[in-house]
Amino acid sequence: MSEVGLLSNNSAKLILNQTSQNILQLPVQETLDYFKSFGILLFRGFGVNYEQMKVFAEKFSSRFVLDKDRPIVDPRNKFVTLVDPGMHYVSPHCENANSPFRPDVIWFCCGVPASQGGETLFWDGVRVWEELDQELRQLLIAKKIKFCQKFPAADWKRFLGVGATLADVKRTLNGIPGLSYKINDDQSVSIEYVCSAVVKTKYGHQDAFANSLIAEYKNPRGVVTFADDSPIPATVINQIQQVMNKLTEVIPWQAGDLVMIDNSRFLHGRRSFTDTKRRIYSLLSYLK
Ligand SMILES: [Fe+2]
């Protein structure tokens, strides 16, 4: 294994290439062990491009999922996408955690960093949970949250595959705990997903504030309430935000960097930027 170390003041584990190794030569089990204990790995110096990201990710993954909003970069690599469109700040969230289809891992690789800004931000949900005050934690344990979303037919066909039918939608959505759905006349599908803001991490089974509450609350198109439809008070959001502001960490992108994030524990977001040349690619997967 290449030399490993921590970025200063950063909980991401840095795996640095000092022997001109190809990323595909890294030992899988050892890498996985690091991933399980740190939850976020930054591979630097391997000059990873998005094709290699996919091949490397395949060693750990049972399957990939496609994000509905993101542009595909290469028809031969249909799960690799650009990150969220636009150049704006992205609030903390776990990927697809406003639905029952939260992938285990989000992979990012950097083609071109922004000349200024555009860093990926991340938060350790275990630390966020530990830092929230007792009263707020009690509230979030006692009251689940509800996310509402509507998927036009084009969106669920992208998610389920071209040629998917309403029968496939029903097969996919029936029997999922916390989920209810309605098929509308125009074949769009409305879903309501009730879940806890505090989840157990996939590795270590620790409590983590790992969810999409803040991002959906801030999203003008997002609808999030408590499970009983009562509004989430702005004071609650502000308190969480204050704690998170103190725990924000940064990926200072260099071209060829690869990042692997445990989506059951870490939230991520990004700083705004203006550089149109910035290229960060992403991939979502479930682990083997
Ligand atoms: Fe994201």
List phi, psi (to 5°) of 159.
-70, -45
Q: Could you tell me which of 91, 120, 102 has the C-alpha nearest to residue 237?
A: 91
Q: Which residues does residue 249 pair with via DSSP β-bridges, in sequence order? A: 122
Which residues, 6+ apart, have CB-to-CB distance to 166 below 8 Å? Answer: 183, 187
Reported as a pLDDT band with limits 50, 70 and 90, residue 18 is confident
Provide the percentage of residues in the chain whose pLDDT is more than 90: 82
Residue 82 pLDDT: 80
CATH no. for 4-125+252-287: 3.60.130.10
Enumerate the domain spans of the chain. 4-125+252-287, 132-244
Residue 222 pLDDT: 83
pLDDT per position as a tens digit, 178-203:
999 999 999 999 999 999 999 999 99
Burial bucket for residue 69 (CB in 10 Å: 0-12, 13-18, 19+): exposed
Is residue 1 pLDDT above 60, yes or no? no
Q: Which range has the top average pLDDT, 151-155, 216-220, 264-268?
A: 264-268
Distance 19 CA to ligand 1 centre (A): 32
Which is more confident, 47 or 10?
47
* Distance from chain centroid for Cα 70: 13
Tokens of 11: 């909980």
pLDDT per position as a tens digit, 130-178:
999 999 999 999 999 999 999 999 989 888 888 999 999 999 999 999 9
pLDDT per position as a tens digit, 44-103:
999 999 999 999 999 999 999 877 667 777 777 778 878 777 899 999 999 999 999 999
Residue 86 pLDDT: 87
The answer to whether the beta carbons of residues 164 and 210 sit under 8 Å apart is no
CA atoms within 13 A on the CB side of 131: 17
Q: For residue 167, give the 3-state DSSP assignment.
A: helix
The answer to whether the beta carbons of residues 257 and 251 sit under 8 Å apart is yes
Spatial separation of the C-alpha atoms in residues 212 and 228, rounded to whole Å: 18
Distance 108 CA to ligand 1 centre (A): 10
Residue 77 pLDDT: 75
Distance 185 CA to ligand 1 centre (A): 30
Distance 92 CA to ligand 1 centre (A): 8
Distance 38 CA to ligand 1 centre (A): 19
CA atoms within 13 A on the CB side of 97: 30
The label of the residue with tokens 């790995």 reads 41
Distance 90 CA to ligand 1 centre (A): 8
What's the average model confidence in pLDDT over 39-45?
96
The answer to whether the beta carbons of residues 49 and 111 sit under 8 Å apart is yes
Distance 93 CA to ligand 1 centre (A): 6
Reported as a pLDDT band with limits 50, 70 and 90, residue 4 is low
Residue 5 pLDDT: 62
Q: For residue 254, give the 3-state DSSP assignment.
A: coil
Distance 136 CA to ligand 1 centre (A): 25
Spatial separation of the C-alpha atoms in residues 122 and 268, rounded to whole Å: 4
Tokens of 203: 């590795």
Is residue 2 pLDDT above 60, yes or no? no
Spatial separation of the C-alpha atoms in residues 110 and 45, rounded to whole Å: 12
Q: Could you tell me which of 74, 1, 81, 80 has the C-alpha nearest to residue 41?
A: 1
pLDDT, averaged across the chain = 93
Beta strands in the chain (DSSP E): 4-6, 13-16, 40-44, 61-65, 81-82, 90-93, 105-112, 120-124, 145-151, 179-183, 189-195, 198-200, 207-209, 223-226, 249-251, 258-262, 266-270, 279-287
Spatial separation of the C-alpha atoms in residues 35 and 261, rounded to whole Å: 8
